[in-house]
Amino acid sequence: MKESNMDGLQTTATETEQQLEDMAKEMRLANDGLLEQDKGYFCDVRPHRVEPYKGIMESFANWARSQSLWILGFGTGCGAIELRPLMTSRFDMYRYGIQARPTPRQSCVFIIGGYASVKTLKRIVRSYEQMQGPKFVLGLGSCTVNGGMYWDSYNTINRIDQYIPVDVYIAGCMPRPEALLGGFIKLKQMIREGKCEGMNKYIDDFDWYKANQKQIIHDWNMPDYNW
């Protein structure tokens, strides 16, 4: 009697362990694109959704976020040339709490500066994933919307929102700095309203985004999520 009881307990224990292991496995990413010997270099934890705070706390946080927009200084396309004037005394983006940061780790706004080739997209995905949430994406120029004048190129992607979530598009080829500022103000407004949950969207639809990315990035030599 006693023994069987013990056995039962043990079975339960192993089963639980098994389950836990399975769960842990689900939380891991396959990282199939990496060479076997390279897998150890990268973190393979699956990103998970982070819920916003509740109520006024989140509003306050969102206000702070909207007042302190740090741009990732990565000129992904020719539109990046229109970012420079923002720093000048004529446009003075600092007034709005906007600053450029040289590293994705510290930035919260990623500006896709125009057309993105496949090669660039790989870097865009990598940098986007390296940013810490909440993070926002500004699509700058027509190319990010529908490919713009390069829409039929063998190498230019047409819709950036198929690969990473975009919060605000600024149309034009090229949009002027004023339009960019307009986009920023729109973004701020949206952040304050709590509408910019792009990061959680990316995680919710993670597999879809990944499938899209992998469809065109053939030599996927990075982990599935670049922590």
Phi, psi for residue 93 in degrees, rounded to 5: -65, -20
Give the residue, chosen from 79, 113, 134, 175, that forms a contact with other proteins under the rule CB under 8 A: 134
11, 14, 16, 132: which one contacts other proteins (CB under 8 A)? 132
Ramachandran region of residue 178, left (φ > 0), alpha (ψ -120 to 50) or beta? alpha
**Shortest Cβ 150–other proteins spacing (Å):** 9
CB 30 within 8 A of CB 224: yes
DSSP secondary-structure letter at 111? E
CB of 74 to other proteins, least distance (A): 6
Query: Looking only at residues 195 through 224 of this chain, which bind other proteins when binding is defined by CB under 8 A?
Result: 199, 212, 215-223
Minimum distance from CB of 5 to other proteins (Å)? 38
- Total interface residues for other proteins by CB under 8 A: 68
Residues 6+ away with beta carbon under 8 Å from 167: 136, 137, 138, 187, 190, 195, 196, 198
Asked if 59 interacts with other proteins (CB under 8 A), we say no
Q: How far does Cα 1 stand from its chain's mean position? A: 57
| 26 near other proteins (CB under 8 A) | no
Written as one letter, the residue type at 7 is: D
Least spacing, CB of residue 207 vs other proteins, in Å: 16
Least Å from the CB of residue 97 to other proteins: 6
Query: Least distance in Å: CB of 206 to other proteins?
Result: 14
| Residue 172 zone, left/alpha/beta (φ > 0; ψ -120 to 50; rest) | left
Residue 221 has which token pair? 């030599």
Q: Provide the strand spans (E) within 33-104.
A: 69-72, 98-101
Where on the chain is the footprint of other proteins (CB under 8 A)? Answer: 37-38, 40-45, 50, 52, 61, 64-65, 67-68, 73-74, 89, 92, 94-95, 97, 99, 101-106, 108, 117-119, 122-124, 126-127, 130, 132-134, 145-147, 151-159, 162, 199, 212, 215-223, 226-227
